[in-house]
Amino acid sequence: MSTGGWAGKIIRVNLTSGKISSEDTSKYQDFIGGMGIGYKVLFDEVPAGTKPYDEANKIVVGTGPLCGSGVPMSSRTNITSLYPGTDMNLVTDSHMGGNFAAFLKYAGWDAIIIEGASSKPVWLRIEDDKVSLEDASSVWGTGIYNTTAVIGSKMGKESCVAAIGQAGENLVNLSVIMNGSSHSAGGHGAVFGSKKLKAIGVIGTGSVKIGKDKKELMDLDAYVMKEIVGANNQHVVPSTPQPWSEFVYENSRWTAREGLTWGASEGNIDTGIAAPGDVNKVGYRTMKAIKDLGPVAAKYTVRMGGCQSCPIRCHAQMNIPQLEQYGVSPYAANTCMGWFSPAGVMFKGTKDQKEEGDGNMITRALGSQLADDYGVWCNYGSIGRDFAYAYESGIIKKVLPEEEYNSIPWNLLEAGDPAFLKEFYRRVTFKEGEFSHLGDGTYHIAKRWNFGADYFDTKKYSMWSPLGFPKHHASDESYQVGAIINCMFNRDAQSHSHQNFISSGLPVDVLKKIAEKLWGSGDAIDPPANYTPMNEYKAKFAKYGVIRNCLHDSLTLCNWMWPLTASPLKERDYMGDTSLESKYFSVVTGIDTTEEELDLMGERVFTLHRALTVKEMGTTDMRGKHDLMVNWVFDIDPDKKPFTEGTIKMDRDDMQLALTMFYKEMGWDEKTGAPTRATLEKLNMKDVADELAKLGLLPA
C-alpha cells in the first residue's frame, strides 16, 4: 500500500461524448505509470487493426509516481498511442520533458486517457480536480507558441500547456505535442489533431506526498548530487583537461571550463571549473549550445534550461538577433536533434553570414523555431535525409508536378540560405502539394516516391529498420547490444542506457571493470570499432539497457540521464549506483522495493510492449517480421570482415544468435521472439496471455 508518489487518480476523457471521469490508478500500479499505463490501456482497449487517426484509437498522456516529487531528472511525460509514421500503425511512445508531468501531478492526476474524437476543436482544461473541455476555436489554426499564450491568459500565468501546432491539426504524420518552449514529444501530434484536441492546460496547487521521511529523500539527493551525477547523458569525464580529472574526452558533454560562458547572459556567466562534488555548479557542466550550434553559439547563449527537477540543463536558450530577418523571434530553445534536423534539411550546407559558423547556427535555430511552432516532427532526423535522398537522386524532380517543382526556391537550398526552411516547414505543415508528403514518414514516402533499395542500404541515410525508422545508438556504436535494442521498438529506440555508459568518457578498461560487476564479465563491452562475437554478457547488458529504459519511461525518469551507471569519482572506481531508481521509488512511494523487484516491473512493462506489438502485427514471428535490420549493417566495409579490428560491420548469423540470446534473457520464445504464457504469467499478466491465446498469438 503506497503512502506517496502516485496521485491515485487518472482522468479519462471521451471526446466523442464529452464525458470526463476519474479512475483509480491502483489498477495500473503493477505497471508503475507512464509507459506502463499507456501499454495497458492500449492492449486492453484498442483493437488490433485500429489506425492512428481512427476514433477508436486512444492516446495516454502519462506520468509516474516519481514525477513532481523532486527526485532529480524526473519530469518526463510519456505519451503512448498508435503511430502513423510506419506501415503497420504500431504502438509507440513519445516523450516530452519540461514541467508538464510535474504540474499534472500537482493537480492531483497520474495520467490522462483520451478516447473518441471531438467534432469541434477543443482543449482540455485541468485546474486541480476541476477538469473541463473548452472551445479551442480561437487557437485552432495557430501555432504552439500562440496557443500557449492564449491558454495562459485564460487559465493564469501559472499554467503549463501542452499543445499541437498546425501540423498536428492537419494530420501531418510527423508532428509533435509540445509543452513549454522546447519540450516536444514526436509522432503523436496528429493523433491529437484527428481528435480535434488542440491542447491540455494544467494548473496544480496540490502536492506529491513522500511515503517515507523527507530526510531520506534529501539524503539520497545529496548523495546523487555529490558523488554520482555527471553531465548530460551521464558523461563523467570533462571534454577539456580539467584539474579535477585524470581523463579527458573531447566528445564528452561535460564542457564546463574557464572562458566558456553563457555569452548573452547578464554578467557573461562563466561555466568555469565545475568539479564533481560542487553541487552548486552542476548546472554549468553541460554548455550544450556549443555542441548543438557550434563554438560561435557561446556568445548567443542566454542560459541553459530544461525540465523540472533536473540539475543538468541540456536545452540551450538562445538570443540570436539574426533570426528576426526571417520573421521569427530571436529567442530560440532546443536540444540535440531539435537543432540538428534542420541542418539535415539544408543538406547542401549553409552559408556563413557575418562570422565563421554562424550560417550553421542560424539554420538550426531558424528550423527549430519554425518546427516547434508549427509542431512538425523530424522522425529523429529522417525527414531531412528522406528529402536529401529524394533530391539528389532526381526523384523529387520526377514526382513533383512541374508547376509545383518550379514554385520551390531551390536556389536557396543550393546557396545554403536558411530562408529555404520557411518554405520547407510551411509546405509540410499545411500539406501544400506533393512535396509535403515528406511529412508522411520514411516508410510512406519511400513507397510513394519509389525510393531505391539503396536508400535503406546506405549507412549515411541512417535507416535501421525496413519498417521505416532510423537508428538511434545502434550497431554502429555498440555492435550487438545496440543492434538488439534498436530492433525492439516500433520507432527509433530512444534508449540511452547503454550508449551513455559507453560514451561516458571512461577508457574501455575502466568500463570493462564496471561491466564485470554489473553484468558478469567485462566481455559485455567491446573496445570501439573492434567488436567480438556475441556472448551472454552482451545479452545481459542489452537487457539492462532496454529494461531500464522502459522503467524510466514508467517512473518517470529521464533516460537521457538515468541510469547512473558510471560516476565521476575516481574514489568510487568511477562506479555509479544502479540501485538508485529502486531507492528513490521506495522512499517516494513508501513501498520497499529492491533493485531486482523494480527491474522486474520494468520487465513487465517491456514485455507488455512486446505482447502489444505481437497483437497489433497479428503474428508471433517477431524475429522474421519485426526484429529486422537493413543491409548496410552487414554490408558496409566490403573489404573487412566482422569481428576484426577497424570495422563496425556485423555478421548476419551472429546477429540472429544475438537475438536468440536476448529472447532467452527475456523469457520469450527463442525461435520467434514472442512472449510465452509462462513468462507472461510469471510477470502477473495472465490476462494478456489469455487474450493472445484467444487470438492464436502465443508461441507454440
230-259 binders of another protein (CB under 8 A) = 240-251, 257-259
Closer by beta carbon to another protein, 206 or else 667: 206
| Stretch of 12-20, 264-272, 602-610, 668-676 lying at the interface with another protein (CB under 8 A) | 264-272
Question: Minimum distance between the CB of residue 523 and another protein, rounded to whole angstroms?
Answer: 17
Provide the 3-class DSSP secondary structure of residue 428: helix
How far is residue 519's CA from residue 478's CA, in Å, rounded to a whole number? 15
Answer positive or negative: Cα dihedral of 381, 384, 387, 389. negative
Q: List the interface residues with another protein, window 13-72 (CB under 8 A).
A: 68-70, 72
548 binds another protein (CB under 8 A): no
Residue 337's closest CA among 151, 560, 6?
560
- Footprint on residues 150-179 left by another protein (CB under 8 A): 150, 152-153, 156-161
Least spacing, CB of residue 381 vs another protein, in Å: 7
Q: Closer CB to another protein, residue 36 or residue 98?
A: 98
Q: Of 70, 106, 550, 497, nearest to 310 (Cα)?
A: 70
- Determine which helix (DSSP H) or strand (DSSP E) holds 41, and give its type and residue range: helix 35-45
Instruction: For another protein, give the closer residue by CB, 41 or 558.
Output: 558
How many angstroms separate the Cα of 453 from the Cα of each of 397, 447, 461, 465, 491? 19, 11, 12, 13, 20
We find the least distance from the C-beta atom of residue 19 to another protein, in angstroms, to be: 27
559 binds another protein (CB under 8 A): no
Nearer to another protein, 20 or 269 (CB): 269
Q: Which residues is 540 bridged to in the sheet?
A: none
Considering only residues 507-526, where is the footprint of another protein by CB under 8 A? 507-509
Least spacing, CB of residue 341 vs another protein, in Å: 9
**Closest CA relative to residue 37, chosen from 612, 674, 558:** 612
**Could you tell me which stretch among 186-194, 392-400, 420-428, 504-512 binds another protein (CB under 8 A)?**
504-512
Check residue 456 for interaction with another protein (CB under 8 A). no
d(CA 468, CA 578): 33
Segment 303-322, which members bind another protein (CB under 8 A)? 303-311, 313, 317-319
| Distance linking the first and last C-alpha atoms of the chain | 38
* From candidates 452, 528, 618, 624, binder to another protein by CB under 8 A: 528
* Contact of 213 with 175, CB cutoff 8 Å: no
Q: Which of 279, 388, 399, 600 contacts another protein by CB under 8 A?
A: 279
Which residues, at least 6 apart from 546, have a Cβ–Cβ distance to it below 8 Å? 484, 485, 488, 495, 497, 606
8-state DSSP, 225: I
Q: With both helix axes pointing from N to C terminus, report the angle between 580-589 and 536-555 in degrees, rounded to the nearest 10.
A: 30
Query: Which region, judged by CB under 8 A, interacts with another protein, from 44-52, 506-514, 608-616, 684-692?
Result: 506-514
Could you say which residues in the range 462-501 bind another protein, by CB under 8 A?
462, 471-473, 476-477, 499
Q: What x-and-dash track marks residues 95-114 binding another protein by CB under 8 A?
A: ----x--xx--x--------
Does residue 198 belong to the site contacting another protein (CB under 8 A)? no
Q: Which residues pair with 254 in a beta bridge?
A: 238
In the complex, least distance from residue 103 CB atom to another protein, rounded to whole angstroms: 8
Binding residues for another protein restricted to 339-368, rule: CB under 8 A: 339-340
User: Residues 13, 90, 133, 208: which binds another protein (CB under 8 A)?
Assistant: 208
Dihedral sign for Cα 187, 318, 262, 75, please: negative
CA 106 to chain centre: 24
Question: Distances from the Cα of 685 to the Cαs of 367, 605, 674, 678, 682, in angstroms?
Answer: 45, 10, 14, 10, 7
Q: For another protein, give the closer residue by CB, 485 or 661.
A: 485
> Is 545 a binder of another protein (CB under 8 A)?
no
Is residue 620 within 8 Å of residue 676, measured between CB atoms? Answer: no
Compare residues 170 and 556 and give the one whose CB is closer to another protein: 556
Q: How many residues bind another protein (CB under 8 A)?
A: 107
Restricted to residues 623-682, the positions that interact with another protein (CB under 8 A) are 645-648
Give the interface segment with another protein, choosing from 277-285, 431-439, 627-635, 658-666 (CB under 8 A): 277-285
Closer to another protein by CB, 196 or 226: give it.
226
Q: For residue 241, count other CB atoms closer than 10 A to its CB.
A: 10
Residue 46 near residue 82, CB atoms below 8 Å = yes
Residues 573-602 interacting with another protein (rule: CB under 8 A): none
What is the DSSP track for 115-127? ES--SS-EEEEEE
Q: Does 392 bind another protein (CB under 8 A)?
A: no
Q: How far apart are CA 101 and CA 118, in angstroms?
A: 24
Q: Which of 56, 275, 419, 657 binds another protein (CB under 8 A)?
A: 275
DSSP 106: H
Q: Which one among 135, 149, 355, 687 touches another protein, defined by CB under 8 A? A: 149
